[in-house]
Structure 1
């Protein structure tokens, strides 16, 4: 058997089929993506129509390489003309929709679209069912084409004229853009706009018999490869531009979603098509049956491509999130570390089981504080243990007694866990005996805030009324108490995060709607005005330092008179109350923020609740010296500076809340929810310990 050989024409034919198949895959994939994510936008719908016509033309091109008779070639060529004939209308209606997004509407262009649609539909009917536009088939493999009919050249003129009018619409839309971002996107669209028309026009009919047939297949395929490759690239560019029309998500999300879809869909499909096209050659080389080679090649391509995409995901993320890489990393870390209710229950049950095995007892439980009540989170033990625990009605009193007893089990210490080096401190106490259980209060020391937080209780069935442990048991027990306390504290914080997210997500949607309105020039550019929305200073990383500087010069000075905090909306709203004096308005807002931190009741210099407010009051409003304040509060100067930083951070937090108060009113939860967090037990709802 003579070894196989490939001629230049065979290589060009193979490459042309591959690139035409690539265009079909891209057109179909981008059509599906556009209709999925941008269906409600008129620009996207008309672009999807354009993609569908391009797909029809190139699908017929691919089919023509496999036809075996003139009759089959004729049917596919006339089907191809369905896409060619309707393309002028698709071009103009798409460009007109883009132009209308700039608030440019004229009756003349609407009539042009209607006329072009009518002429395109008539041309499609002529091409499918008559010989007025195209006539007989010229079948000379690997080239097949139709002869020109009497109306072909009028159609070619119509095709070129409407395409140029559509190009003018895109150029006009680009000129009317006000922002550099929108103008850049329209530039991309303008560059790629002519590609579908150039790639789909039937040049073989125009050139006639003189340059058609097998003798001219090599140069025809070479030019076709260049043109089809250009069409494939420009379709991606156009789809990238259209993907931003009408979407309410951030550009980052659109870009990431498009790239992820493109790499996992069209790229893999193109690789599979390439493998299938090379299958006959591989089959001859390996000498294996076609089915075995087909399954092996396709499976290998799909799995390998997915592995490559997974490995290169970090590189793609760096390319997409160049400026927001750190924030995106934090968001993903948050998603990775969040504890669901099931996660917390499993975590607690595992640790309770370990405690029972360590202390050789049959039952244990953990409960978290929810307001004034205790919520049973996890129970391990024989059947009926949960019911027996719930029958005891004075667990809350037991917790209060345990906290008031304050019998320390040594010095509270920080346990360094693998997840965080500076974990909070869970205080250790001797347990008290109640209802057959040893009960430990779980209390977070609150070194930063200066206030202790009761997280819940840990109960272990007692071996005896006196709590006696070996040194090994005590060491492991301390670690378990730390971990359970930290888990309850994290879960409490995460519930607050969930409540906040439920409140702000509607506001985020509204922000996206605002930012989705791209400013364009009106019909009269001289009378146009574009309103710029400046970002609030509360989102600036230097916001807390600006607050500190303004407080330092609270009663006057350059750091107050020239503070960036003047950009706060709440300061502008307070100008009327400050006799139209911006400096006085800023001082008034800072004073209100400090006053919001004032605890209820009479002032007290000795209680932790009043510490931060007293520091702010004496340091910035009264202007006392550091040494004097430290003596009055009975703390060291170094501790005073540390608490002062915490207090300034609290002022910055209050200012942020004051700045967003209008949004808070807008996105507040419905009245029936009353903004309350609905706590759930681990597997049992509304089962609280009394």
Structure 2
């Protein structure tokens, strides 16, 4: 029985270690600027060190190794009470008791200094805190020294301070969601303490049965795993301005790919010797096959489990999220459009026995040739002699009859090409199909027969449907881009209200990035970037990023705002490896020419080869991108200020 409990404890020690390390790595990557998260990181680090020592001590045999590991793991044991005091101070600073937190700040430094002093007494080999006892079975390693009870008092005060801070902050919480998270925290905050406190220095194996001690250790490890997970979820995202549904989704996904996969792998590796002995095979052989199976099955299992977990997380929003998840598969993208145009053009040219053809369709930069079949040289020569924009009016002016079939009157003949206009169901001009053939050649090739006209008309209608669909999608995406600042502002406002305290609520109205007209304020400031009443009186002067660099700009709010606007534009500069004709470069060059170089609309539009109407449409998108960059800069400032608290 003792051997089985020992093996179970080893597995659970490894599980706690994996969960703690995964949670620590996650919060470090996600929200390390928050002081609450940094203190939580100290607690998790203490658990990792302590359980690493337990895991190694379970297999150690040499007395010198046992002595070293038993003393070294006290780094984690003494870190936890200091982390609790740090955690309490960070919670009070976040909540309404900021004055109390300032008074307690010195206690945080004192706690870390005291922890270091206790650790030094332990590792220097003194008998003041612990001393080597007589081993009695697999758990008794050390006995308590005279100063151990000072550590117990220190530990109790740290736990009490964390609990008091949680109660104070929960009492001042304004929203049900914030109170719910703090309730979770109050129920689970003791997990690091349960995991690292050296109970065996108090409860001797000579008094309590060994099997009971090992069983209690196993139960404690299971409790620690659950409580650490809930505790981390309760506070790890404090101050992050993202919706709770995204927090839950990211957290669950990380738990699946981190702790779950790690624990499953450890369980399998530990089970290999038992299975190998039962089957009479070498353990190395089973490990080879097992790793092969695990690397294939675990990703499949996680992928299959994610939709069910998402359904539990989103619940009321499940239908919308499920539709958005499948949207990329249902979209008709530009790559799909190009493939359809090329395939349809090949079918039309092959049916009409035409060697060369092309399709003209609209894009972000106006009408252009989107697909070519046959001789590209002939198409290039035709487009050079007859620019696309010059022949489109003639095609667009042709009479339209949705019920009419293809005939000789449906084409416009220019040089050696016959052009057939493409229109949407409501008659809007969409582009054209060009075929290198005369009308007589089409008649001789059978292109004017009834069956052939039906087939070509059907293929042309498919192209028209695809172009119409892509245009509708582009309009939807443009609308979503226009709504993006408002949606982002609403998400940030919802997150801040959810995490609101009396201190933060009083400053909420001053956050200009949450205002619905924030993009318009950015536009007004950009139009007078070089000076003017709209810049000197702009509400953007209250931005955190502006206040931060105020001293660097000689105390001038106007110059500070100008610097922030220039930085926001500079942040939009694409990488040099990106194609110069890409949308990113177009927007950046528009902003640079119009606002940084103070060029006229006509000059910038001419340099970028676009019409003035297209310029204004692109300028609106570019200004929204500048506003989005300023929002990101403000989020960075907010997170830094939250971290300093």
| Residues 669 and 675 in structure 1, CA contact (< 8 A), matched pair in contact too | no
Q: Is the 8 A contact 1:355 1:480 kept in 2?
A: yes
Aligned position for 2:104: 109
Deviations 1:218-245 (A, max 9, x none): 1111000111111100011011112331
Matched with 1:268 is: 261
| Residue among 152, 157, 163 paired with 1:156 | 152
In the aligned structure 2, how far is the partner of 1:428 from the partner of 1:496?
A: 35
Could you tell me how far 1:267 is from its partner in structure 2?
0.5
The 1:502–1:128 alpha-carbon spacing in structure 2 relative to 1, beyond 3 Å, is farther
Partner of 2:462: 483
How far the C-alpha of 1:138 sits from its partner, in A, is 4.2
Q: 457, 468, 474: which is aligned to 2:453? A: 474
| Aligned-partner SS, 1:322 | helix
C-alpha separation between the residues in 2 aligned to 1:110 and 1:410?
81
**How has the CA–CA distance of structure 1 residues 375 and 138 changed in structure 2, closer, same or farther, with 3 Å as cutoff?**
farther
8 A Cα contact 1:70 1:137, kept in partner? no
Q: Give the aligned partner of residue 444 of structure 1.
A: 424
Matched residue, 2:542: none
Contact 2:85-2:158 within 8 A present in 1 as well:
yes
Q: Is 1:134 matched with 2:130? A: yes
| Equivalent in 270, 287, 293 of residue 286 of structure 2 | 293
State the 1:258 CA deviation.
0.9
Change (3 A) 1:433 1:88: same
Partner residue, 2:371: 378
Q: Deviations over 1:88-134 (max 9, x none)?
A: 11111112212221132223321222222221111121122232211
1:205 is matched with 201
Cα distance in 1 for partners of 2:332, 2:198 equals 61
Q: Deviations over 1:542-566 (max 9, x none)?
A: xxxxxxxxxxxxxxxxxxxxxxxxx
State the distance in 2 between where 1:528 and 1:402 align: 62
Over residues 400-440 of structure 1, what are the superposed CA-to-partner deviations in whole Å (9 max), with x where a residue is unaligned?
33333326474589xxxxxxxxxxxxx99823322322322
Structure 1 segment 119-518 matched on structure 2, within 5 A: 119-131=114-126, 132-136=128-132, 138-208=134-204, 210-211=206-207, 216-369=209-362, 373-406=366-399, 408=401, 410-411=403-404, 430-446=410-426, 452-462=427-437, 464-465=439-440, 468-518=447-497
* CA pair 471-260 structure 1, distance change in 2 beyond 3 A: farther
Instruction: State whether residues 99 and 169 of structure 1, in contact with CA within 8 Å, keep that contact through their aligned partners in structure 2.
Output: yes
Aligned to 2:85: 92
Relative contact order (C-alpha < 8 Å, sep 6+): which is higher?
2
**Whole-angstrom CA distance in 2 between matches of 1:32 and 1:177:** 28
Partners of 1:84 and 1:371 lie apart in 2 by: 62
Change (3 A) 1:139 1:341: farther
Kept in 1: contact 2:357–2:379 (CA 8 A): no
Contact 1:318 1:325 in 2 (8 A): yes
CA distance in 1, matches of 2:404, 2:305: 49
Cα shift at 1:319 = 1.2
SS at match of 2:502: coil
Is the Cα–Cα contact under 8 Å of residues 34 and 238 in structure 2 kept in the other structure? yes
- 1:88 and 1:162 in contact (8 A); partners too: yes
Aligned Cα root-mean-square deviation (Å): 3.3
Q: Secondary structure at the match of 1:377?
A: strand
Q: CA deviation at 1:9?
A: 1.9
Gaps of 5+ in 2: 517-589, 596-603, 605-614, 620-645
Return closer, same or farther for 1:369/1:353 CA change in 2, 3 Å cut-off: same
Q: Could you tell me how far 1:73 is from its partner in structure 2?
A: 1.5
Residue matched to 2:535: none
Contact 1:64-1:144 within 8 A present in 2 as well: no
Is the CA contact (8 Å cut-off) linking 1:136 and 1:146 kept in structure 2? Answer: yes
- Report how far residue 375 of structure 1 moved: 1.6
1:522 maps to what in 2?
502
> CA separation in 1, counterparts of 2:365 and 2:288?
64
Q: 1:373 to 1:176 in 2, by over 3 A?
A: closer
Deviations 1:610-638 (A, max 9, x none): xxxxxxxxxxxxxxxxxxxxxxxxxxxxx
Q: Is residue 368–residue 375 contact of structure 1 (8 Å, CA) maintained in 2?
A: yes
For residues 295 and 403 of structure 1, the distance between their equivalents in structure 2, rounded to whole angstroms, comes to 68
How far apart, CA to CA, are the structure 1 residues paired with 2:243 and 2:408? 47
In structure 2, the CA distance between the partners of 1:48 and 1:406, relative to structure 1 (3 Å rule), is same
Change (3 A) 1:202 1:372: closer
Cα distance per residue 1:299-319 (max 9 Å; x no partner)? 323322222222233222211
List runs of 5+ in structure 1 lacking aligned partners.
1-7, 414-426, 447-451, 539-667, 679-690
Correspondence list, 1:51-90, <5 A: 51-90=44-83
| Structure 2 CA distance for partners of 1:115 and 1:365, relative to 1, 3 Å | same
Distance 2:316 2:56 in 1: 46
Instruction: Say which SS state the counterpart of residue 375 (structure 1) adopts.
Output: strand
How many residues matched?
517
TM-score normalised by structure 2 residue count: 0.73
Q: Secondary structure at the match of 2:238?
A: coil
CA contact (8 A) 2:422 2:431 kept: yes
When structure 1 is superposed on structure 2, of 333-342 and 349-358 the one drifting more is 333-342
Larger Rg: 1
Counterpart-to-counterpart distance in 2, 1:48 and 1:104 = 22
Matched, 1:23 2:16: yes
Judged with a 3 Å threshold, the aligned counterparts in structure 2 of structure 1 residues 60 and 371 are, in CA distance, closer, same or farther, namely closer
Distance (whole Å) between structure 1 residues aligned to residue 345 and residue 5 of structure 2: 70
